[in-house]
């Protein structure tokens, strides 16, 4: 039988703190490149004041690198006009490549998700940036994109209950 002890619990927390200290040291080492990257991104996104990006960093300990992750979620009624094509055009002009796009439609929502990537650049001193742009399609009279029900699906799903002999 394994016994629980306070020393092991504390040691686990110490190990977590040490891991995050190593990550923080890499982020601090990359601060200059990260600053150049955020300035560049702010210039690209400045044309879209309604866009609210959410940002965080991913740190790779073995390669000592930082990746800037950006998530942008925005309500749209069209994929041909308005902010969606304009923002994506700006990202392409800024050196981003489209990695993939995915459509998601559920009973409650419809989204088109685009994943962009701009690799790190040693010459300009910028870190890699990954942007996920989620175009949330909203229902509006002038909408050119809509969620459409294309059928129904019936599935047999097993159900369970616990039965114990007395």
- For residue range 33-67, what is the model confidence (pLDDT) as tens digits? 999 999 999 999 999 999 999 999 999 999 999 99
Q: Is residue 13 within a helix (H) or strand (E), and if so which, with residue range? A: helix 6-29
What domains, with CATH codes, occur in the chain? Answer: 6-137 (3.30.460)
Q: Could you give the angle at which helices 31-45 and 6-29 cross, rounded to 10 degrees? A: 70
N- to C-terminal Cα distance for the chain? 28
* CB burial of residue 21 (10 Å; 0-12, 13-18, 19+): exposed
pLDDT of residue 141: 66
On whether the CB atoms of residues 26 and 59 are closer than 8 A, the answer is yes
What gap in Å lies between CA 141 and CA 85, rounded to an integer?
Answer: 20
Look at strands 128-137 and 65-76 and give their pairing: parallel
pLDDT of residue 96: 97
Asked which of 96-100, 107-111, 141-145 is least confident by mean pLDDT, the reply is: 141-145
């Amino acid at each position: 039988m394994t016994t629980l002890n306070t020393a092991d619990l504390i040691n686990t927390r110490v190990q977590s703190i040490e891991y995050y200290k190593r990550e923080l040291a890499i982020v601090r080492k990359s601060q200059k490149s990260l600053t150049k990257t955020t300035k560049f991104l702010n210039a690209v996104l400045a044309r879209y004041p309604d866009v609210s990006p959410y940002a965080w960093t991913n740190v790779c300990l073995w390669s000592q690198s930082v990746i800037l992750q950006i998530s942008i979620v925005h309500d749209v009624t069209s994929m041909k006009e308005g902010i969606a094509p304009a923002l994506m055009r700006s990202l392409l002009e800024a050196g981003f490549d489209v990695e993939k796009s995915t459509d998601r439609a559920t009973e409650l929502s419809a989204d088109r998700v685009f994943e962009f990537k701009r690799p790190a650049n040693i010459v300009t001193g910028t870190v890699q940036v990954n942007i996920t742009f989620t175009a949330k399609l909203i229902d509006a009279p002038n909408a050119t994109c809509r969620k459409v029900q294309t059928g129904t699906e019936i599935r047999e799903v097993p159900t369970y209950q616990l039965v114990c002999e007395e």
